Amino acid sequence: MRVVERGGMKKRLFTDSAVEPTDYLLEKHLGKAMHFYKRIMETSGNCRRQWQFNRGNGWVLRVHNAYKPLYYLIAFDEGIEVSLTIRDSEREDFLKSVGLEMSYPELTSGTKYSGGYALRFEIENEVDCSSASQFLAHLMKTRIPISKSFPLKKLIKMRGADFGAK
């Protein structure tokens, strides 16, 4: 397994395309940061998880609902990083939300793009993990009900007769 040096956090793990992360490898290489990884995964509930290899970033865990990514997780030797994009309207709402004060630094320093704001949560201790977990829980409450309220069930109901007819 190759390791890449980086500012802020120590070293990026899983940069070799031939070595996809497994629970065993994560446990072995994350050390005490495995606790943070597990807490973030618990926050993610039943969202789908898929490891993807990217030349510039190595293996990145894509956590998504059936339609769009919610966030990406990158493993480091002494922590993890959660990266995501939020819409302009979500950012405004989150900045007004009681209980997300710990996430204000990430919300205010996010990079603005046409699709919204790119945020990064570097998680190396319990405070970082709590802040990221609270933020992700709030994000999922706002996004998941919307995406689950319409999809396939309503489409089948609306077009039910069309599916059976040939």
- Integer-rounded Cα radius of gyration of the chain: 18
What is the dihedral sign for C-alpha 64, 68, 71, 72?
positive
Q: Given this model, what pLDDT does residue 1 score?
A: 39
Higher-scoring residue by pLDDT: 113, 56? 113
State yes or no: pLDDT of 24 exceeds 60. Answer: yes
pTM of structure: 0.79
DSSP structure string for 35-63:
HHHHHHHHHTTT-EEEEEEETTTEEEEEE
Element (H, E) at 97: none
Share of the chain above pLDDT 90, in %: 66
The DSSP letter of residue 84 is E
Q: What is the spatial distance between Cα 62 and Cα 81, in angstroms, rounded to a whole number?
A: 12
Helix 34-43, helix 23-30: angle, nearest 10? 130
> For the chain, where are the alpha helices, taking DSSP H only?
23-30, 34-43, 88-96, 104-109, 126-149, 151-164
pLDDT in tens, 50-90: 999 998 889 999 999 877 899 999 999 889 999 999 999 99
Q: What is the spatial distance between Cα 102 and Cα 33, in angstroms, rounded to a whole number?
A: 20
Average pLDDT, the chain: 84
130 contacts 136 by C-beta, under 8 angstroms: no
